[in-house]
A and B are shown apart, each in its own frame.
Chain A
Amino acid sequence: MPELVGIGVSPGRSAGPVFRLAPPPALPEVAPPVTDPDAEVAAARSALAGVAAALRARAASVSGAAAEVLETQAMMAADSTLATAVAARVARGSAAAWAITEAIAEQRETFAQLGGYFAERAADLADIGDRAVADLLGEPMPGLPSPGEPFVLTAEDLSPADTAVLDPADVLAIVTRRGGPTSHTAILARAMGLPAVVGCPDVVTLADATVVSVDGTTGQVTVIDPGEAAGIRERAAADRARLAALTGPGRTADGHPVPLLLNVGGAADLTDDAEGVGLFRTEFLFLGRTSAPTVAEQQAAYTELFAALGQRRVVVRTLDAGADKPLPYLGLAQEENPALGVRGLRVARANPTVLTDQLTAIAGAASATDAQVWVMAPMVATPAEAAGFAQAVRAAGLAVAGAMVEVPAAALHARRLLDHVDFVSIGTNDLSQYTLAADRMSSDLADLLDPWQPAVLDLVATCAAAGREAGKPVGVCGEAAGDPLLALVFVGLGVTSLSMSAPSVPAVRASLAGVTLERCAELARIAVDAPDARTARQAVAATI
């Protein structure tokens, strides 16, 4: 069966016939002459205003991230810069629809040159142009197909307006030719719980009604026999039901416990059945203000979270700021290369009171509550840094000190770090960024940032082995721990706890419950021995 591969950006499986998003309107080959420039400008403005109004109306009918994205797109349609550019094109002899097309093309080019996230906004602009032109030419609005049965939606790329009106009852999955992990398709598909694959060039070769299966975890799109589709959908639905039904602490099929902890920014992110918090980000207290929060203010905020946890564990990460997340009152210099600059624990070199104040506040909150409070520092690179941090933590009266492993040097010398600290926790996003030397904000380097990279897994293995020898816990926090397949690999490598955002917990819990520890170790060997990230993921998925 022909198989197409893209980047899986929203997990889950489904299957059904593909239908393409209705193509954008085409301009007639011969442009009409402009006889009344004022009328053309007025027509163009009115079309753009109509697009803006329609986008605002859609924004009002949805909520959260989808609404925000649509409101921003509505602002673009009503934008004065665009209106001025359109008027200039009319003045040079272009009729309304042509003037809009040209002005949008020029602006898209600017966005595309900026790269990354900005380039992805080019799709929003193209969509505005298509809608305005369809209006001016009296053509149907480009948009979703309605084949009368649930379908796999395929497209060049999806605009916010397209995704916002998707009905998850009609759409089984989404596959786009373009787009990266930060595209709207990815963000909104995850929010809607629809499997999605982006960056799949060959999807355009599929004729409408071709039946495919889509795996939003592995990025595989496979042409299948139409008779198989219903079975795949049923199994996927059964999987989801199974996930929802499972509760309780994380453990493998043979009963080996793996605490499933939460990544939180405050008490609001907690869930009742959570086993604890594996990453409490404290940045929220420090952002958006002109002076550092006082000890009393911090202590009150920490106490709120600790109290909500009862006797459960909470791992507090001390302030992770720096040149990449600038806080004016830290007085840090601008840097050419902030990801490699003064960030995380390094801030304490020049400004130790921010750390000691924070530790004092955490200790105060810990003594006022029953939670098991662990504290860890971000961006530890050397054993000396780990020792210095552990000393500061203990001087504050806190019992358990740890180090995050995000820097390859720290992973390679995890054993020496563990001479000084009580545990380590691996931050996979930064560890991938630093191991592969790939900026984590770059959607062009998504393949390198993949936490399935065998080199990253090797470093995780080194940490786990060091933890085993020292008899100390080695956790993984960061979104990679929430990948139900990769979680098994981590456990097989010897990781003792997994911390993730709350929506990821059920799938990981179910995944763990289905395999023994020995099997996890086997999967880990397969992943580490794979030549690249994609092969690693596919080989593990195929073995399961």
Chain B
Amino acid sequence: MPSRDVVVGSRIGLHGRPAATVVRVAAAQPVLVRIGVAGRPPVDASSIIAVLSLGAKGGDTVTVEADGEGAQAALDAMVEVLATDLDAEPADA
């Protein structure tokens, strides 16, 4: 199954706004996208509870996988959104 590793670009990790944004992008894909962290079975990336349960922090590597028609484009979209800092308000000094 096509899969891709990506470093979580949101410094605060996959919670709050970043988690919600990632889930919305996954839900908009024509194929089921799964997301996993090392050592755990991958989960449905369109489920906010499943994504939060990964506990992924900024800088962690996550793996996204998808199969079927449009899987590559879906993975491209996921890699892009995951690598972006979605909570771009910089922390205080």
Report the separation of the CA atoms of residues A288 and B59 in the bound assembly, to the nearest whole angstrom: 14
Q: Are B23 and A326 in contact (CB under 8 A)?
A: no
A205 on the interface (CB 8 Å rule)? no
Report the separation of the CA atoms of residues A46 and B19 in the bound assembly, to the nearest whole angstrom: 25
Query: Cβ of A114: which chain B residues have Cβ within 8 Å of it?
Result: 53, 55
B16 on the interface (CB 8 Å rule)? yes
- CB < 8 Å neighbour of A79 from B47, B61, B86: B47
Which residue of B12, B15, B48, B86 has the most chain A CB atoms within 10 A of its CB atom? B48
Q: Are A326 and B59 in contact (CB under 8 A)?
A: yes
- How many chain B residues have a CB neighbour from A under 8 Å? 34
- How many chain A residues have a CB neighbour from B under 8 Å? 49
Q: Are B85 and A71 in contact (CB under 8 A)?
A: no
Report the separation of the CA atoms of residues A65 and B20 in the bound assembly, to the nearest whole angstrom: 13
Q: Are A111 and B52 in contact (CB under 8 A)?
A: yes
Report the separation of the CA atoms of residues A263 and B84 in the bound assembly, to the nearest whole angstrom: 24
Report the separation of the CA atoms of residues A80 and B53 in the bound assembly, to the nearest whole angstrom: 14
Residue of A nearest to B47 (CB): A81
CB within 8 Å: A-B pair count: 109
Report the separation of the CA atoms of residues A429 and B58 in the bound assembly, to the nearest whole angstrom: 19
B44 on the interface (CB 8 Å rule)? yes
- CB < 8 Å neighbour of B92 from A110, A338, A479: A479
Q: Are A427 and B93 in contact (CB under 8 A)?
A: yes
Flag the segment in A166-174, A277-285, A508-516 that touches B: A277-285
Q: Are B93 and A378 in contact (CB under 8 A)?
A: yes
Q: Are B47 and A107 in contact (CB under 8 A)?
A: no
B83 on the interface (CB 8 Å rule)? yes
- From 319 to 359 in chain A, residues with beta carbon under 8 angstroms from any chain B beta carbon are 320, 323-326, 328, 334-335, 338
Q: Are A76 and B53 in contact (CB under 8 A)?
A: no
Q: Are A404 and B93 in contact (CB under 8 A)?
A: yes
- From 436 to 476 in chain A, residues with beta carbon under 8 angstroms from any chain B beta carbon are 440-441
In the complex, how many angstroms separate the beta carbon of B44 from the nearest chain A beta carbon? 6
Q: Are A121 and B93 in contact (CB under 8 A)?
A: no
A477 on the interface (CB 8 Å rule)? yes
Query: Cβ of B16: which chain A residues have Cβ within 8 Å of it?
Result: 68, 72, 117
Which residue of B11, B23, B52, B55 has the most chain A CB atoms within 10 A of its CB atom? B52
Q: Are A279 and B93 in contact (CB under 8 A)?
A: yes
- CB < 8 Å neighbour of B59 from A79, A287, A324: A324
In the complex, how many angstroms separate the beta carbon of A128 from the nearest chain B beta carbon? 10
Residue of B nearest to A378 (CB): B93
Residue of B nearest to A115 (CB): B55
Residue of A nearest to B43 (CB): A81
Query: Cβ of A429: which chain B residues have Cβ within 8 Å of it?
Result: 91-93
22 A-B residue pairs with CB within 8 Å: A68-B16, A71-B20, A75-B48, A76-B49, A79-B49, A80-B47, A81-B44, A107-B49, A111-B53, A117-B12, A281-B93, A288-B85, A323-B59, A325-B90, A326-B59, A328-B7, A334-B59, A334-B61, A406-B93, A477-B92, A478-B92, A479-B92
Q: 11 new A-B pairs (CB below 8 Å) besides A107-B53, A110-B53, A477-B93?
A: A68-B17, A68-B20, A72-B17, A79-B49, A288-B88, A320-B93, A325-B85, A326-B7, A429-B92, A429-B93, A440-B91
Q: Give the interface of A toward B (CB within 8 A).
A: 68, 71-72, 75-76, 79-82, 107, 110-111, 114, 117-118, 121, 125, 263, 265, 279, 281, 283-284, 287-288, 290, 317, 320, 323-326, 328, 334-335, 338, 378, 404, 406, 425, 427-430, 440-441, 477-479
